[in-house]
Structure 1
């Protein structure tokens, strides 16, 4: 499965690389305000699959971003969508018209949306956090699925990748991309051993020199230990993995009245930035409930959480924004380029596979004979005469 070209470019062919046409089974996930044209094109040029985050873009901004990526690279890339967004159909139309090869979803798309994309030749890769969700989208025709364990950043579950991943691999017959806790070549080999077709990384790609996240915010990530990454439900009522900061601590202590005031303020700011009406914000907030018992303040925050992310990821205000983060932030200490990162991961993966192969080298026959109690080479004890 692993190959080295004449130029020394290490590649590992999997069902994922065959499906989307990339050289390496690595996916840069679609992170709001982070996965823009520069990061996505740098990832694509490095041979991995870059995913453009569209939830924080207006529809015209999405088309412009797609065209910017295509001007920077000829390699395949994807666009991440919110399946429950009111304008999801319009965004799908842009993906089809602009010839984007992959559509990924933060939430399960409908059977009809999957069919529309597949009819246009677009590869559909929903993200899931449970086996039953993977089974559902696979039955609806999804081409692959990205499964994120509890170690992953942003909205996340509470089941570890090492427990969730094999469940999903055993349950579906489409390629599975493992996410949550991956940052190096050892993790890639481990995921492949579980039966995955590749790995998705968010925080690791965020912490590259190609990422547009302000340097001061990157420094906060690099300084964090594993214990500095926490999960809170105070942002929008859903479990959200992020760096622990004074803001997060204050959110945890805040009462309902303060939470409602903050929600309205952020909703107003997001409405001005996005051009959405209050009615549209309310519809999106209701859509994000998904049967959960959220308060109106939580619904407002669910519709405009991007503003809290934007404060940190775009404006560099770590004191005012939320910094979504996987637990791997606690073990990352550098900012390579995407090209350097991908090469490093693939080189380490090859070395890890070679080390594993050395452990399974057949034992020489003489050694095996010496270990056999019936061998004439075995030591003879006094009891054996």
Structure 2
């Protein structure tokens, strides 16, 4: 299905995509199949690399390249000990966009920009957007508190206009978006597009197991919560028996579980113990975590994998934006993007016929 012509914005002109829509780099979810489907449908797909080895990243980038000639990006952990190696892989393989969950360092950003790679960090606060803009970021993704995974406490409707007014680079809105009405609303606030995670997780090309997708589709607003008991940081996810158990467990049990998961993640990601420790120290400095919180952070990757890859929602975690409560189907990426663009056009036209129309 081909989408009708959509709005052309600073984002579409910057990246070279047809539609101002971004699929976020969700760990264990945003692999070559999903990213290439999004790219072929005219939006910007972002490959998640944090859960891959460097060799796995190179293979994944090449697989996406074999599936599409459209631009796509790679999401990196700026605090990873092997971040520079991953940057070199991206440059070598001709990746168009570098996406960061944490602000990149100045030298990493300079290396990417010197190689012609667009740098688009994700932030959750106005001051962070101002910082990366001053460092030379090409655009910024701003996620409000409604967004899934690690999140803040400021709603998109407050945070987005703050950032738009504070920086002079394209701003992409994230947190609470799943359709064309949301796209028009974001554009009205001054954004150059919207980024969606949960909505793209719930598509036909997403490799998340069907049983887990069913749990998302059945969720109501009350089934989506924020907890700090997984890794010491605010984390939005579906409430399950496991989440309740984590919130009730004592500190010793939580730390023992975290240590087991740290070992499992080391094997899955190909990370050595020294590199894992270095990453942890960087995270501790960046997020000002206590040592207990740092060890708890080892929970996240493998507990997410249990649900999103292994298909066991009762033993894993399901990161989710609040918008999951509005999603009721599993379209292909092409269908979703075409529908979003059509709805945005209809919404825009209805506004011109409304009280402000002529």
TM-score for both structures, normalised by structure 1: 0.91
Q: Structure 2 CA distance, aligned partners of 1:8 and 1:144?
A: 24
Q: Which residue of structure 2 lines up, in the alignment, with residue 193 of structure 1?
A: 188
For residues 283-306 of structure 1, the C-alpha deviation after alignment (integer angstroms, 9 at most, x for no partner) is 211211235453434312324521
Say yes or no: does 1:166 pair with 2:197: no
Query: Of the two structures, which has the highest relative contact order with CA contacts closer than 8 Å and spacing of 6 or more?
Result: 2
Q: Which residue of structure 1 lines up, in the alignment, with residue 207 of structure 2?
A: 212
Q: Which residue of structure 2 lines up, in the alignment, with residue 361 of structure 1?
A: 357
Q: Which residue of structure 2 lines up, in the alignment, with residue 4 of structure 1?
A: none
Name the Cα RMSD after superposition: 1.2
Q: Structure 1 CA distance, aligned partners of 2:45 and 2:357?
A: 37
Say yes or no: does 1:21 pair with 2:16: yes
On the 8 A contact 1:81/1:106 being kept in 2, the answer is yes
Q: Which runs of 4+ in 1 moved over 3 A?
A: 290-297
For residues 188-227 of structure 1, the C-alpha deviation after alignment (integer angstroms, 9 at most, x for no partner) is 0000000000000000000000100000000000010011
SS at match of 2:120: strand
TM-score for both structures, normalised by structure 2: 0.97
Q: Which residue of structure 2 lines up, in the alignment, with residue 349 of structure 1?
A: 344
Which structure is larger by alpha-carbon Rg, 1 or 2? 1
On the 8 A contact 2:351/2:357 being kept in 1, the answer is no
How many residue pairs were aligned?
Answer: 356
Alignment of 1:178-327 (within 5 A): 178-290=173-285, 292=287, 294-303=289-298, 305-327=300-322
Q: Structure 2 CA distance, aligned partners of 1:113 and 1:44?
A: 25
On the 8 A contact 1:247/1:319 being kept in 2, the answer is yes
Q: Which residue of structure 1 lines up, in the alignment, with residue 88 of structure 2?
A: 93
Q: Which residue of structure 2 lines up, in the alignment, with residue 366 of structure 1?
A: none
Q: Structure 2 CA distance, aligned partners of 1:8 and 1:171?
A: 33
For residues 211-249 of structure 1, the C-alpha deviation after alignment (integer angstroms, 9 at most, x for no partner) is 000000000000100110000001110000000000000
Instruction: Provide closer, same or farther for how the CA distance between residues 228 and 326 of structure 1 changes in structure 2, counting only shifts above 3 A.
Output: same
On the 8 A contact 2:201/2:208 being kept in 1, the answer is yes
Structure 1: gaps (5+ residues): 1-6, 363-385
